[in-house]
Structure 1
Amino acid sequence: MTSSQPQLRTALLIGTASALAALALLPYVLALQPHGLDKYPVAPVIVIAAQFVVNGVLCFLLAWAGLKLGAPLGLGAPWLAATLYADRTRPATANWLAAALLGVLGGLVVIILVTRFGQPLAGAAAHTAEPAPWQGALASLYGGIVEETQLRLFLLTLLAWLLLRARLQRPLALAIAIVAAALLFGAGHLPLAAKLAPLDAGIVARVIGYNALLGLPFGLLYCKRGLEHAMLAHFSADLVLHVVAPLAHSL
């Protein structure tokens, strides 16, 4: 087995999971934008198939790059690699419950902030439908798998690799990379926000701020425990925000 095989096969698994997660996101997106597929000049099934393929291929490539760059830095997906390869030792430490609870806590903190500073898209609620809890549950898979692959496994790893090559000390390089990836994670939600409501300073601040606040512990978990812990925390936070909170609001 060559040294690149674990990275290749792990990346293929992540890419496949990402493609499926992109399909799972579709009901949530269509609830927010019921006519979102009408703007394309081809049949909806072709658009959906294209999104499946594009997301899968993109996340495969990003995962492979992140795994290769992260290997010498001690960053990556150690639990997936150990599961795929019998000759690879499982990491010595893990705390899945703590990761899940950290995600739940992050989601609760965001809910508290929303009650104080308002919804990310304040004023847009009257013009958009509220996705059902089951749609929110499916969308949580996208956040946990696709967004963590893009933002933590690839982007955070790339930033850390570049900063270390610039001769920054490892703790400082990782800290900067965690913060930068969290901010970009927040900014990455602005295109969808812009489709739902005109952007202003308040909306931009809330969208970036709420998401960046969650991105910080996700990045820390990635650096300390591996991608899988960050994925679990992200999934747990999204379940609180997109399933538990809507259910509680409907009572």
Structure 2
Amino acid sequence: MQSAALPSPWKPDLKVAAVFAVVAGLATAALIPYLMQMMPDRFARIPVPLWVLVVAQAIQACIVLGGLSLLGLRMGHRVGLGAPLLQHWINRQPLEKSGLKPLNSALLGALAAVLVIGASMAIDPFLPPMQHPPAEVGGAQSAFNGFLASFYGGIAEELQLRLFLMTLLVWIAAKVKGAQPRDATYWNAIIAAALLFGAGHLPAANHVWGLDAMVVIRTVLLNALAGVAFGWLYWKRGLEMAIVGHFAADIVLHVLGPLLSHGASP
């Protein structure tokens, strides 16, 4: 018996999702040096060789994020969200988003990072003492680790929070209402995804400080502030520009910050 062929509507999205799966796996591997700097005590207790951990994490991210990307792309056709630039390059589809503006997207991400730094400077004096301080490394090494980690933030987190989660929220609203989503629906999804983006950083914050009210407020607020900007970019300009904006924000926070010795990381 001949195996059933993949339905043709899925094939273009599968190609794009495959690209996302590969780059997400590589970005996850690139994150490890940053995590080793932030959580040296945890890595000291890992019972397997480091290369095994890196390979396992990369493969897991490739499979999981590739699957989430495919679902996000399929749902996105219904609600006008997706990755228009890659669809254009890979599948020769017309560009559905006008005015992608990568430079403006990067500038918006950088501005969001500056706002995060300002908010951090106001909140950080009220935080409890660190329970597990990050490893002391030189500014250049810390900046390099931050540069590598920026690929994870820009790619993997955008695949999870914008391409999949934000699209899912808008898609559910469209299915329930049986109509094309209104602007308010997109804004609700942007804010919800941004808040969940912030909440996703609570385990790391708990490791560093422990969780009290101020740590929770700082972690969720700072990340959500940036997440709203990335969500707007995804809605108006496509996932690629959200990736550009997120990457630019992380460069400001995790590369320029350590080099200037007073950076803030959400």
Aligned residue identity for 1:183: L
Aligned to 2:227: 215
Q: Does 1:67 pair with 2:76?
A: no
The one of 185, 195, 200 equivalent to 2:212 is 200
State the match for 1:172 in structure 2. 184
1:138 is the counterpart of 2:148? yes
Match of 1:94 among 88, 97, 100: 100
Contact between 2:40 and 2:134, CA under 8 Å: does it hold in 1? no
8 Å CA contact 2:165–2:193 kept in 1: the answer is yes
- The one-letter amino acid of 2:106's match is A
Specify which of 1, 12, 16 is matched with residue 18 of structure 2. 12
Indicate if the aligned counterparts of 2:102 and 2:241 stay in contact, CA closer than 8 A: yes
Out of 52, 58, 62, the residue aligned to residue 46 of structure 1 is: 52
Deviations 1:39-89 (A, max 9, x none): 34333322221101001111000000000011121100010111112x312
Which runs of no fewer than 5 residues in structure 1 stay unpaired?
A: none
Distance 1:247 1:226 in 2: 31
Q: Give 2:249's aligned residue.
A: 237
Range with greater deviation from structure 2 (136-145 or 113-122): 113-122
Find the aligned partners of 2:182 and 2:71 in 1 and give their Cα distance.
Answer: 20
Distance 1:18 1:119 in 2: 35
Paired letter, 1:206? R
Q: 2:160 aligns with which of 150, 156, 163?
A: 150
Give the CA deviation at 1:36.
2.8
What TM-score comes out, normalization by structure 1 length?
0.93
Indicate the SS of the match to 2:261: helix
Identity of aligned residues (%): 40
Aligned to 1:36: 42
Partner of 1:21: 27
Does the CA contact (< 8 Å) of 2:131 and 2:210 recur in 1?
A: no
Separation in 2 of the partners of 1:129 and 1:46?
22
Once the two structures are overlaid, the 10-residue window that deviates more, 8-17 or 116-125, is 116-125
Q: Tell me the C-alpha RMSD between the 2 structures.
A: 2.1
The answer to whether residue 96 in structure 2 is matched with residue 115 in structure 1 is no
Distance in 2 (CA, whole Å) between partners of 1:35 and 1:245 is: 23
Instruction: Quote the residue 1:58 is aligned against.
Output: 64
Residues 1:213 and 1:250: Cα distance change in structure 2 (over 3 Å):
closer
Point out where structure 2 has 5 or more consecutive residues left out of the alignment.
1-6
| Residue 171 of structure 1, CA deviation | 1.4
Q: Contact (CA 8 Å) 2:78, 2:171: kept in 1 or not?
A: no
SS in 2 for 1:123: coil
Contact 2:88 2:95 in 1 (8 A): yes
Kept after mapping to 2: 8 A contact 1:82/1:89: yes
The one-letter code of the counterpart of 2:172 is L
For the pair 1:79 / 2:89, whether they are aligned, the reply is: no
SS at match of 2:42: coil
